[in-house]
Structure 1
Amino acid sequence: MTIRHISKNNYGKNLTAWCLLVLSGLLLSNDAFAQTPVSKPLAKIDSNYNHAHYQQRTEFFRKSHHFKHPIVFLGNSITEHGEWQEVFDNHNIINRGIGGDNTFGVLARLDEVLATKPRKIFLLIGINDLSRRLPIDVIVNNYKRIITRVKRESPKTTLYIQSILPVRESMTTASYLKNISPLVTELNKRTKELAAAEHLIWINLHPLVAAADGQLREELSRDGIHLKPEVYITWANYLKSQKYL
């Protein structure tokens, strides 16, 4: 290899040429960037679930007596309002419903549920995801994550996926529940397909509560979304008639 000697004068000239070359490259590069269209920012996903009621309920769950191999009803306010032990006359049933919860919240607290190695889990979640207009693909992916964790961490647990209940939009006052019925239909279609792919039982609750137009029957609710207490008896009797419980 030949080492070429560079004089001070030549070095200065070469350095100046090199700087000009780099500067011109940067200018061309900046010009190229200026001509490249900037991608639109991604839409924000409102996945918040950690509100005060969520914190209080999860703290209660952690400190309450842990049954061995219980039957768990897991979900949001629809589940929380159910007196499951009483309607089934079974003290080994536990209520793990939290008002306002969504699929992200269920994932965050699944450790406490699976630690008991439940015999069965009846999952009903998603209406609060839809009310925030979370993409259905995101919701279904969270369902997949829930299913994966149940199978991995408590493989003897039988997981039932229950359909999202319809709402009666004319009775609701919340703007975020308006025009939500098509989304409920689409999410139920997707979770039914997912349950089939995962070899799980998908429970269709719509025949119990839906009117001819597909929305929640007016006489079963006071606000268009939550159920009157007596509806839970019908719900429980249906699960028993299908031999799910």
Structure 2
Amino acid sequence: MSKFLYKLIGVMNVAMLCSFYAKGQNLIDSSYLTNQYSLRLDYFRKMPDRKNEIVFLGNSLTEGGKWQEMIKNKNVVNRGISGDVTYGIIARLDEVVSSKPAKIFLLCGINDMKRGISNEVILGNFSQIIQMIRAASPKTQLYIQSLLPVNEKMLPVAYAEINNSKINDLNRNLEALCKEKDAAYVNLHPVLADENGSLRKELCIDGLHLRQATYILWTDYLNKNGFLK
């Protein structure tokens, strides 16, 4: 399937999802075409594909990781875009799968939640993402990472829609979806959460975004559990 056709299918899927969910009382803010999104995607598309890529795909939590420095001797690429939502992931999957990557580590959904998008809708988009990756690159190993916990006491007002109760509910359903779709689910909470299930304050900047050193813990966790072999 050509890149153009795959991109067109992705955009059509986004449009259909938006149309379907907009039939209710509340419209969904599914916009993703920010300046940051456009600039990053333009850069991604101009980069050459490499063999056996390990792709880290997601939003600012992924973009902030220096994955290439922490994971040695592998073709690691960072496909994080700050502010991205599941709709934006769907729309740019053609670029992600064009290299037929060896592995994809996906983390997204928190910005959807920030906008008030329901867990049901987010989960439906995850299902669509899994299906699209499987169709385009069936040999790629897909790892769906849990949404990270937050530290609610530290969160700015702009993140009022986000809380650990919603995150835990989505993660439970996401894990069940992974079992249904035979995709690997990676629970990151054991390495980042405190005894109350909140993001450890010493690991973050604002209750959500991570300090650079925290990515070392994240990468070590993936290594110790054999996900990066």
- Is 2:76 the counterpart of 1:93? yes
Q: 1:189 maps to which residue?
A: 172
Q: 1:78 maps to which residue?
A: 61
Count of residue pairs brought into register by the alignment: 206
Check whether the contact 1:121–1:159 (CA below 8 A) recurs between aligned residues. yes
* TM-superposition CA deviations, 1:86-114 (whole Å, max 9, x none): 11113400000000001000000000001
Instruction: Point out where structure 1 has 5 or more consecutive residues left out of the alignment.
Output: 1-39
Q: 2:196 maps to which residue?
A: 213
1:1-245 → structure 2 map (5 Å cutoff): 42-177=25-160, 180-245=163-228
Bigger CA radius of gyration: 1
Alpha-carbon distance between aligned partners in 2 of 1:149 and 1:65, rounded to the nearest angstrom:
22
* TM-superposition CA deviations, 1:151-197 (whole Å, max 9, x none): 11100000001000011111121333355221111110110000011
Alpha-carbon distance between aligned partners in 2 of 1:145 and 1:179, rounded to the nearest angstrom:
23
Alpha-carbon distance between aligned partners in 2 of 1:193 and 1:90, rounded to the nearest angstrom:
33
Shift of 1:73: 0.3
Q: Secondary structure of the residue that 2:206 maps to in structure 1?
A: coil
Q: Secondary structure of the residue that 1:160 maps to in structure 2?
A: strand
Check whether the contact 1:130–1:180 (CA below 8 A) recurs between aligned residues. no
Check whether the contact 1:131–1:180 (CA below 8 A) recurs between aligned residues. no
Alpha-carbon distance between aligned partners in 1 of 2:30 and 2:170, rounded to the nearest angstrom:
17
Alpha-carbon distance between aligned partners in 2 of 1:241 and 1:117, rounded to the nearest angstrom:
25
Q: If the length of structure 1 is used for normalisation, what is the TM-score? A: 0.81
Greater RCO between the two (CA within 8 Å, min separation 6)?
A: 2
Alpha-carbon distance between aligned partners in 1 of 2:159 and 2:216, rounded to the nearest angstrom:
29
Alpha-carbon distance between aligned partners in 2 of 1:92 and 1:170, rounded to the nearest angstrom:
38
Q: Give the counterpart letter for 2:67 in structure 1.
A: W
Alpha-carbon distance between aligned partners in 2 of 1:81 and 1:120, rounded to the nearest angstrom:
19
Q: If the length of structure 2 is used for normalisation, what is the TM-score? A: 0.87
Q: Secondary structure of the residue that 1:187 maps to in structure 2?
A: helix
Q: Identity of counterpart residues, as a percentage?
A: 46
Alpha-carbon distance between aligned partners in 1 of 2:69 and 2:157, rounded to the nearest angstrom:
31
**More displaced 10-residue stretch of structure 1: 180-189 or 169-178:** 169-178
Shift of 1:139: 0.7
Instruction: From the superposition, tell whether residues 209 and 41 of structure 1 become closer, same or farther in structure 2 (CA, over 3 Å).
Output: closer
